[in-house]
Structure 1
Amino acid sequence: MDHLPDSNIRYKEVGYWDERYRVEECFDWCGDFSKFKHLLEKLVHKDDRILVLGCGNSALSGEMYDAGYRHLTNIDYSSVCIDAMAARHAHCPGMTWRQMDMRQLDFPDASFDVVLEKATLDALMVDKKDPWNVSPPTLCLIHQVLQEVSRVLKPRGRFLSLTFAQPHFRKRLYARRAFGWSLAHHTYGDGFHFFFYVMTKGEELSPQDAALETRLLEEAKEPPAACVTSPQEIETEDFLRNIDL
């Protein structure tokens, strides 16, 4: 891959993405639409209002549009990305592109049936070496994003999160009663499995996930236990080698 940064922390800098989007036409993290289409079709209706967080230059929105999903709002904090993608999809009525910070979404409450993110939250955590002990600033950042996602979801709306983060890491962030949603997950992909999380607004956490939240809140009162993990080896997605989750 030609656009890897010299330091993982640059994945969190808008300047890095602006530079990258000026020269890179398209890149899909966590596989392309064909890899998880069978899961998405069971959860998203063609007339749903869909918000794509951190859309980047992924082909996902265009492929979803071609598949019949016409009410797509795409946001990214890179103006370079948004300008390029808006021009590229100018022939797609109903699809909009807006520069926006996902921590402060400029939409009314209950605006969307579906909020979708594909590796966007992963990019916020790339500088973390211990996935068991996420730093307070990063936890705060993720919490702000998830609060906003919950706010703009309609009752029974679904938050879909696609990532290479396994459940024992990612559930720790998503299993929170404050967000007012249930939590489920699926896997997809050939060889290396990615994870497809589904949060449904207005449903309760399972007893197991509620117990996880309770345990995490109790553990937060005491010093975290040391834990060392190693990144999984992946043959085809070289950029993942540079990310610790």
Structure 2
Amino acid sequence: MEIPKKTSEYLSPTYWNERFKTEESYEWLGEYENFAPILRRYLEESSHPMPQTCLVVGNGNSTMGQSLALDSKVMRYGTHTVCITDVSPVVVSKSSEKAGRDGGEVSRTSWAVCDMLCLPYRNKSLDLIVEKGAMDVLEVDGGKDPWHPNPKTLERMHAWLAEAHRVISDQGVLVSISFAQPHFRKLLFDSQGYTWIVETESYTTTLASTENQEAQGGGDGSFWEYFIYFARKGARSPSLAHQRESGVGGRSEADRKGCKEDYEHEILDHEDFLFRIGGQGDDEDEDEDEEN
């Protein structure tokens, strides 16, 4: 399927349903083993018990969710310890059917269609949430550049973070893997209403690190750097206290009842959507936002 002319099209569930009908697999921001050693080390060095319950948000057709469920250094084994979700019913159906045929991880996973802005989980019910590129897609209509974000984009980002913060257990962890650089992303994590301590790591991959990228002309030896944000609930991090935003963070039950049941998702690194914010095809959307 062709790359959309307007980055805002990545927010359309219809786009992803159509794409997943023909695309069998793609690994956003590298494969699981590119960042798994960092995740394992972080959890090992933590003084808290190994996670028993995990939510993978926006898995798409990646193998990350299944790999995580089978990783004994990350997840304590049990029945349906990992719930793998995406906004697209097409990819959820295809992936769950494939997992059933392959066996192996099926006893440790469940699959569900899920809106990351309105999570169907009780407060403090999950030990671990992992997303790779899902939060990034919320920024595809982010404004002229990362220094001048759209108010609607910030609203979506905080709707997601507030939901994650709500359902993570005390001392639980949100793991966010992203294109976004720390000096932009950590300001969001450190906003009022969130009590997590945020640590940042990074890793690099080459464009030829996956079969998909090789097939699409990658492999020129270029490197991509990605960032991992570990947000553990607990005492608030003091590092950016003077820069915290006001009026954002936790959402009321009234706000949650207004959540839409349809939503948007995923991206591909070779499409470098974050670097095209405010680029060709998005001016019309920006003008509409300014008028509104």
Judge same fold: TM > 0.5, yes or no: yes
State the match for 1:135 in structure 2.
150
Deviation at 1:241, TM superposition (A): 5.6
Offset at residue 237 of structure 1 (A): 4.2
Instruction: Deviation per CA, 1:146-199: give whole Å up to 9, x if none.
Output: 111001100110011000111111112111231211111011114332100111
What's 2:270 paired with?
238
Would you say 1:5 and 2:4 are equivalent positions?
A: yes
Cα distance, 1:64 vs structure 2: 1.8
In structure 2, stretches of 5+ residues that fail to align are 44-48, 206-222, 248-267, 278-292
Q: Tell me the distance in 2 between the aligned counterparts of 1:97 and 1:138.
A: 28
Match of residue 72 from structure 1: 82
Counterpart of 1:30 in structure 2 is 29
| Of 74, 77, 97, the match for 2:111 | 97
The aligned residue for residue 127 of structure 2 is 113
Higher relative contact order (CA 8 A, sep 6+): 2
Query: What's the counterpart of residue 228 of structure 1?
Result: none
- TM-score (normalised: structure 2): 0.71
One-letter identity of the residue aligned with 2:229: Y
Deviation at 1:3, TM superposition (A): 4.0
SS of corresponding position for 1:187: strand
Query: SS where residue 36 of structure 1 aligns?
Result: helix
Q: Do 2:51 and 2:128's aligned partners in 1 also have CA atoms closer than 8 Å?
A: no
C-alpha distance in 2 between matches for 1:241 and 1:12: 12
Could you tell me whether the CA contact under 8 Å between 1:127 and 1:244 is conserved in 2?
no
Instruction: Give the letter aligned to residue 31 of structure 1.
Output: G
Question: What amino acid is the match of 2:130?
Answer: L
Q: Would you say how many aligned residue pairs link Structure 1 and Structure 2? A: 224
Corresponding residue for residue 56 of structure 2: 52
Q: Which runs of 4+ in 1 moved over 4 A?
A: 44-47
Q: Check whether the contact 1:163–1:194 (CA below 8 A) recurs between aligned residues.
A: yes
Q: State the 1:203 CA deviation.
A: 2.4
Cross-structure match for 1:222: none
Compute the displacement of 1:28 (Å). 1.2
Matched residue, 1:161: 176
2:138–2:153 Cα contact (<8 Å) kept = yes
Q: Secondary structure at the match of 1:103?
A: coil
Q: Tell me whether 1:146 sits opposite 2:161 in the alignment.
A: yes
Contact 1:28/1:58, CA 8 A, preserved across alignment: yes
Q: 1:156 to 1:25 in 2, by over 3 A?
A: same
Letter in 2 for 1:141: R
Q: TM-score, normalization: structure 1?
A: 0.84
Identity rate of aligned residues, in percent?
Answer: 28
Counterpart residue number, 2:228: 196
Provide the secondary structure at the position in 1 that maps to 2:118: coil
User: What is the correspondence of 1:182-193 to structure 2 with a 5 Å cutoff?
Assistant: 182-190=197-205, 191-193=223-225
Distance in 1 separating the partners of 2:97 and 2:127: 26
Please, which runs of 5 or more residues in structure 1 have no aligned partner? 219-235
1:211 Cα shift? 1.8
Q: Deviations over 1:184-231 (max 9, x none)?
A: 10111143321001111112112x221221xx559xxxxxxxxxxxxx
Q: CA deviation at 1:242?
A: 6.6
* Alignment correspondent of 2:38: 39
Q: Give the distance between the partners of 2:193 and 2:235, measured in 1 at CA.
A: 12
Does the 8 Å contact 1:181/1:201 carry over to 2? yes
